[in-house]
Structure 1
Amino acid sequence: MAQAQITPDATLGPEASLITPGVALPSGVTELIEGGAVRGSNLFHSFLEFNVDLGQRVYFANPAGIESILSRVTGGNSSNIFGTLGVDGAADLFLINPNGLVFGENATLDIQGSFYGSTAEAIPLGDGVYSATAPERSSLLHIDQRDDQHLPDGGFWRYPEPGTTGRPGKPDPGRKYPGFARPGSGGG
């Protein structure tokens, strides 16, 4: 099994993401993303590169008590999702890459919670932000853990339930989604 092109960055220090290939999950053999920085019910990951090749299966681990997995791409390239991207659990998955998110024709989401994808530069959280363009200034360690945290709808694609947009668990590659780019389209 070839490894997906996923490279954690160094911005989370000792809480950096760890990628383990060849992990057997009930959904099949996958590359499992573990580690990350836990703050309350949020789990943060930060990557220099994040790509899932055709035929690849990449899943985020969902530790007990985690409700949201927030992932950013800090490198200068877009993220190409051509295989399966999933969560091994029911947490919501957030993925931001200001340089673009491209979902190929055979891309599949295997997510029990909600999926939020965006070309935004940052995710606002309480009184702070989780930034992809200025990760050194992200207020990750100072997140206010109030119960009323949420993402604003502007600029984010929400995939809340199977069947609400496109095919269940799979974005429709022929449809333009706010904040997403199709291959060769130049933007979302």
Structure 2
Amino acid sequence: MTTQIWLGLLGGTAFGFVIQRIGATNPNKMTRAHLMIESDIPKFMLMAVIISAFGLTGLLAVDSGKTVILPMTLGATTIAGLLFGVGWGLCGYCPGTTWAAAGEGRLDAVFTLLGGLLGAATFAHLHEYLIPLLYDSTSLGPLTLADISGSRLIGLGLLAVMFGLAIFAIHLLWGRDRHA
């Protein structure tokens, strides 16, 4: 196996361990997060994005990483977000936590995983028909915070500040002490 595959396996295993420890593989804890009772999972997810953004920026700075910025499409993103949110709310898992929960032996996660794979297969089958409807007509082109701010570092700073403020607000508004 190549170094990239080993690094991917190591990183994925570490991330799976962390999401299991934070409770994101427990649909009851996930429901409590959706009901704004427990704040651990949303704060963890936002922090994971911040840390990943710094890591990716570092890799790009030393020419060790590669990104492909896809066009931002309002139609496809809106429908995908609705499907993602409804599926997450119904099942209690997002795609990453589904795999980790299935690895824990949770049977409901196995069925969620099968449903997700069926949905992905359906999308792949219909993709060519959906491009003119959902992609081409609502595309804003590739768009990033770096493009908006004019600098990769300023974009990273904006993301870190916005998500950091979101973590702080979630902590204040969803804190366990207020809803216990």
TM-score in same-fold range (> 0.5)? no
Which structure's CA Rg is the greater one?
2
Structure with higher strand content: 1
Higher relative contact order (CA 8 A, sep 6+): 2
Structure with higher helix content: 2
| TM-score, normalised relative to structure 2 | 0.29
